Amino acid sequence: MGIFTRLRDIIGSNINAMLDKAEDPEKLIRLMIQEMEDTLVEIKASCAGAMAARKRVERATEAARARAEEWDGKARLAVEKGRDDLAREALLEKRRYRERAEALERELAECDALV
């Protein structure tokens, strides 16, 4: 059994020596640089996507706030005209848009954490 173990060790060391000679450090460095550049491209694309998503959420938040203000104005006008039923509906819409804006603000905070 000792002879087979020695033979295996000799063959293994010879194979390792051949592999060491076959490895070209310059090629390995180029390969590592290429992998790093590929990773950098992926990270930049991911970051750009996150920034675009943040901008979309920011615009949606502003739109929801503006719509809430519009409905507030409509509610005030309805009260002035003595149309409490319409004022009540307008206030419900205002609340719906305000809740939407608050949800979007939370989402915006999450986007800020990513970017």
pLDDT tens by residue, 86-113: 999 999 999 999 999 999 999 999 888 8
Residue 3: pLDDT band (50, 70, 90) is: confident
CA 77/CA 91 separation, integer angstroms: 11
Q: What is the pTM of this model?
A: 0.64
Q: Please give the torsion angle defined by the CA atoms of residues 50, 51, 57 and 59, in that order, rounded to the nearest 10 degrees.
A: -160
> Domain limits of the chain?
40-115
CA 112/CA 115 separation, integer angstroms: 5
Burial of 17 (0-12, 13-18, 19+ CB in 10 A): exposed
CA 69/CA 64 separation, integer angstroms: 9
Residue 68: pLDDT band (50, 70, 90) is: very high
| CB neighbour list of residue 71: distance below 8 Å, 6 or more residues apart | 90, 91, 93, 94, 97
Using the predicted structure, report yes or no on whether residue 4 has a pLDDT greater than 90.
no
**Per-residue model confidence (pLDDT) at position 84:** 92
**Per-residue model confidence (pLDDT) at position 28:** 80
CA 43/CA 37 separation, integer angstroms: 10
Instruction: Please write the tens of the pLDDT for every residue from 15-56.
Output: 777 777 666 778 888 989 999 999 999 999 988 998 999 999
If you average pLDDT over every residue of the chain, what do you get? 89
